[in-house]
Amino acid sequence: MSKPTLLILAAGIGSRYGGLKQLDTVGPNGEAIIDYSIYDAIQAGFGKVVFVIRNSIDKDFKEFIGSKLDGKIEVEYAYQELDKIPSGISLNPERVKPLGTGHAVLVAKDVINENFAVINADDFYGRDAYITIANYFSKLDENTLDNCMVGYNLKNTLSDHGYVSRGQCTSDDNNYLVDVVERTHIEKKPDGIYFENENNDEQLLDGNTLVSMNFWGFTPKYFNELEHRFTKFIENNKNELKAEFFIPTVVNDLITEGKGKTKVLESDAAWFGVTYQEDRPVVVESIRELIKSGKYPENLW
């Protein structure tokens, strides 16, 4: 079986952060979170990394990556733009908002032919998470629609500086996902953790709630399902200019239809990330502590 690929979603605009958080440096020698993710993936046995970016950040992104990965891992790029859609369908010409994480994965269809993991560029997942998913890939048949995800406890994934989006997960006694619901507004408050429902009403969430941090593992068969369902999404949302096609939408469909199971993987890895500028000092300090403990070299590359 071929080595798995790491697909990094790096096309985000970063409106809450106020800039390209994908490239913001947090390490002592100008490393971004994305560098540590790739380093961990290489250590776990991944053979290729694919970056999903936008045309508008192409130059800056490639200058940042430069030659640092030469000889270490194969590199490919894919571009998430509104015109990157399957032939035979068309978007509402008034649409300007990106089409969501499901679309971001779909644009990489032509450069991935092996089992692959999906992560966010601005999230630090921890090396154990990569090792865990790589081990699962070694037993996952590329010809099935079964997949996996690395889950985290909600209380360990929040920002002290505003709301975040998370996929709220339910799993069965055998650690298979039952469903995942995208919560786009979760906020930590003095009396608990709350999310806003579709009616903008606040509802309390348990801090131990299992959530997806967009660390998924798929076989290449997933792309055909993704494309088919994305086409339906476009047809059904022609007048919804802000509707987004999320990765969990297809995962839920496959579970409901009995086409593919999703294994929820347990990991001892620690997560942290940057949603707001105020999160950055915590990330910088966390990286520094990991270097002091010998987890990473001072100069990563």
> What average pLDDT does this structure show over 262-275?
82
Give all domains of the chain, ordered by start, each with its CATH number.
Answer: 5-151+212-292 (3.90.550.10)
In the chain, % of residues over pLDDT 90: 72
Q: Tokens 């997560």 — which residue?
A: 271
Q: Tokens 């030659």 — which residue?
A: 67
> What average pLDDT does this structure show over 165-173?
90
Does the structure show a pLDDT above 70 at 76?
yes
161-165: long-range contacts, CB 8 A cutoff, minimum separation 24: 161/275, 161/276, 161/278, 161/279, 162/16, 162/187, 162/275, 162/276, 163/187, 164/275
pLDDT at 85: 93
Give the pLDDT band (50/70/90) at residue 17.
Answer: very low
Tens-place pLDDT, residues 2-15: 899 999 999 975 54
Tokens representing 298 are 């001072």
- Rg of the chain on CA atoms, in Å: 18
In the chain, % of residues over pLDDT 70: 97
DSSP letter assigned to residue 27: S
Rounded-to-integer distance, Cα 232 and Cα 214, Å: 22
pLDDT at 1: 67
